[in-house]
């Protein structure tokens, strides 16, 4: 079996400290690569902080902006794939990839391979409204892309997307066997976080890696607990709520064997 080492960078995120947050992200990429990671994944809105809604417009960037460019260079320099997810994207300023709207802001992840090539862009589909103004400030994504990384077909969703299982079915139908989920999930909804991510792994018989942040904002505290669930829904690696790097050895053949042993996906009736 050929295993891939995935590293979930549970970063300390300080609201509005974009320079400091990006530096911590770059340090995590370097550290994870030194520890043998093949893929490093970052949390949702690790630059500005999810709950810093009043700063979204000020710190919005295009895909070609400084943050993604620095992480793209880090991927190539350290020979490691990087899921840079997510930042506030300025859709009007983005030039290199298709955008869902002529203007506005989006919650956007980018996946770079170990050569620094852009393999995937994902804009959050389901925008949160409960106790949040994300759905007022941002434009939802429209596309589901996949990428080949470390023997896996990788898909990306973001945080609140965990509550919408049909999105994950679409990814499985596209051949995905690893879903990475950059998130900014707060207390007190620990059981939702644990249950939903595990359910998405079980029902789709794939790996689900949830990458959460750490830190407190004016009215919310991120609960951390970044976790890798295997295709049986077993948590093979996880954390508490402090900043850390969670690593796990994952194998695409594990997905194949589970789907062959218990062929629930084959029994779907559409």
Q: What is the pLDDT of residues 30-61, one digit of tens each?
A: 999 999 999 999 999 999 999 999 999 999 99
- Look at the chain and report how many structural domains it folds into: 1
Structure confidence at residue 28 (pLDDT): 98
Question: What domain range includes position 108?
Answer: 4-267
Q: How many C-beta atoms lie closer than 10 Å to residue 101's C-beta?
A: 14
Domain CATH number, residue 190: 3.60.110.10
Catalytic, 249? Answer no
Q: What 3-state class would DSSP assign to 151?
A: coil
Q: What is the pTM of this model?
A: 0.97
- What does pLDDT average to in each consecutive run of 10 residues of the chain (270 residues)? 90 95 98 98 97 96 98 98 97 93 95 98 94 92 96 98 98 98 97 98 98 93 98 98 98 97 93
First CA to last CA across the chain, in angstroms?
33
- Do residues 12 and 243 make contact, with C-beta atoms less than 8 angstroms apart? yes
Q: What 3-state class would DSSP assign to 78?
A: helix
Task: Please tell me which residue in 134, 159, 180, 206 is annotated as part of the active site.
Answer: 159
> Which letter does DSSP use for residue 12 in this model?
B
Catalytic, 73? Answer no
Task: Please tell me which residue in 89, 124, 134, 180 is annotated as part of the active site.
Answer: 124
């Amino acid at each position: 079996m050929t295993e891939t080492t995935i590293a979930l960078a549970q970063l300390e995120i300080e609201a509005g400290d974009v320079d400091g947050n990006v530096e911590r992200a770059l340090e995590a990429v370097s550290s994870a690569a030194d520890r043998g990671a093949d893929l490093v994944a970052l949390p949702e809105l690790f630059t500005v902080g999810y709950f810093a809604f009043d700063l979204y417009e000020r710190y919005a960037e295009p895909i070609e902006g400084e943050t993604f460019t620095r992480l793209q260079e880090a991927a190539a320099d350290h020979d490691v794939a990087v899921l840079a997810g997510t930042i506030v994207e300025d859709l009007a300023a983005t030039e290199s990839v298709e955008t869902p709207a002529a203007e506005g802001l989006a919650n956007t992840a980018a996946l770079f391979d170990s050569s620094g090539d852009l393999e995937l862009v994902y804009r959050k589909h389901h925008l949160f409204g409960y106790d949040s103004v994300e759905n007022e400030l941002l434009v939802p994504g429209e596309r589901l892309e996949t990428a080949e990384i470390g023997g896996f077909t990788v898909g990306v969703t973001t945080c609140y997307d965990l509550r919408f299982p049909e999105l994950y079915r679409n990814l499985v139908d596209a051949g995905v066997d690893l879903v990475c989920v950059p998130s900014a999930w707060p207390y007190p909804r620990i059981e939702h976080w644990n249950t939903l991510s595990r359910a998405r792994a079980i029902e789709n018989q794939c790996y689900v890696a949830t990458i959460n942040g750490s830190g407190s904002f004016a009215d919310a505290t991120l609960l951390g607990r970044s976790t890798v669930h295997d295709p049986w829904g077993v948590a093979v690696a996880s954390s508490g709520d402090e900043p850390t790097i969670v690593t796990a050895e994952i194998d695409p053949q594990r997905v194949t064997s589970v789907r062959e042993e218990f062929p629930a996906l084959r029994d779907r009736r559409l």
